Amino acid sequence: MAEHLLPFEKIERKILVKKEAKTNPDLGCAPAERKTDEIITYGVVNINKPQGPTSHQVSDYVQKILHIDKAGHSGTLDPHVHGVLPVALGRATRIVQGLLTSGKEYIGIMHLHKEIEEPKLNEAIKKYFTGKIRQLPPIKSSVKRQERTREIYYFDILEKDGQDALFIVGCQAGTYIRKLIHDLGQKLRIGAHMQELRRTKAGPFREGTLCTLQDLADAFHFYKIENNEKFLRKIIQPVESAVVHLPKIWVFDTTIDTLCHGANLNIPGISKLDSGINENDVVAIMSLKDELVALGTAKANSENILSSEKGIAAKTDKVFMLPGTYKNK
């Protein structure tokens, strides 16, 4: 059976050094060294969404538990679906935009309305429901109901027992799994529906870092009542955890403040970068302490950025670092 990896998980990147540089220890702060009060308003928590509430309700629960002004989730899960739901906190909320378009993985159970041999089932999946497919969103959906192309990276049957089949699917964001199973049943002319579904990957987030809403509430209680920050710091991840799947460009300390005011990233401001960046890729612009400065759109590939002395390397789209963080006091 094929290895189950989303596209970005297959990419091996190397760091290309354009100009070695040191960072001023008095400016900025490495993500792991941020104070607990800051990570509560500038972090991400990977919630194990239960069946029942909507994704928006879960995000709202997180906001109330932590007593913060805002929180945002990284892609809607059907109320009956459970599993990985990253929720960004406070000032980090806009990072979910970078996760909405990233690949997802699901494990579920489909119920076939008539018995069919497993080889025939696998043959139909491979022929019609792997690679780029056309899908019409269901009647109850948050998008305009018109046929669109979506990519299925992998779709395998893990186990089959009579008319029930355990499956795993890795897909482009915006793929409707319930509709995928329905369409498979139609193609087989036997009918099928999704019986249960769990999301196991959302971009770089995995089941290994999941916590429940109760875990979060308990951790916050220990922090506020007993001044014990250990549990909360284990649960809440720095905002940088939401960009580990993106190619990165590291910039000099002296470049950062202009970026924080919305300027585009020029090539002379770059210290090092990942290999494999292509024009129009979404890139994470980082400090030399590995802090997220901004998200941008690459305007040149890695080779051109490395060999050029001038020009725009990336258009700055969303700034996360506060202006003045890297301004000499």
Under CATH, to which class is 34-100+205-240 assigned?
alpha beta
Name the pLDDT band for 328 (thresholds 50, 70, 90): low
Q: Say whether 78 is catalytic.
A: yes
- In angstroms, the CA 274 to CA 283 distance is 10
Specify the domain boundaries for CATH 2.30.130.10 within the chain.
12-29+246-319
pLDDT value, residue 101: 78
Asked if 116 and 188 count as a contact pair (C-beta separation under 8 A), the reply is: yes
327 or 90: whose pLDDT is higher? 90
- In angstroms, the CA 275 to CA 11 distance is 10
Specify the domain boundaries for CATH 3.30.70.3190 within the chain.
104-202
Query: What are the two backbone dihedrals, phi and then psi, of residue 140, each rounded to the nearest 5 degrees?
Result: -90, 90
Does domain 104-202 fall into CATH 3.30.300.10? Answer: no
Name the pLDDT band for 137 (thresholds 50, 70, 90): confident
- In angstroms, the CA 69 to CA 253 distance is 30
- From 26, 69, 78, 218, the catalytic residue: 78
Q: Is the pLDDT of residue 110 over 70?
A: yes
Q: Is the pLDDT of residue 204 over 80?
A: yes
Name the pLDDT band for 2 (thresholds 50, 70, 90): low
Range 309-326 average pLDDT = 97
**Burial group, residue 141, by CB count within 10 angstroms (0-12, 13-18, 19+):** middle
Name the pLDDT band for 264 (thresholds 50, 70, 90): very high
Q: Is the pLDDT of residue 292 over 80?
A: yes
pLDDT value, residue 140: 65
Specify the domain boundaries for CATH 3.30.2350.10 within the chain.
34-100+205-240
- In angstroms, the CA 254 to CA 9 distance is 32
Q: Is the pLDDT of residue 142 over 70?
A: no
**pLDDT, tens digit (0-9, with 9 covering 90-100), for 115-135:** 999 999 999 999 999 999 999
Using CA atoms, how far residue 298 sits from 150, 242, 291, 321, 327, in Å, is 24, 18, 19, 19, 25
* Other residues' Cβ atoms within 10 Å of the Cβ of residue 126: 12
Range 179-198 average pLDDT = 97
- In angstroms, the CA 299 to CA 285 distance is 13
Average pLDDT, the chain: 95
The domain covering 12-29+246-319 belongs, at the CATH homologous superfamily level, to: PUA domain (2.30.130.10)
pLDDT value, residue 15: 97
**pLDDT, tens digit (0-9, with 9 covering 90-100), for 67-104:** 999 999 987 888 999 999 999 999 999 998 777 778 99
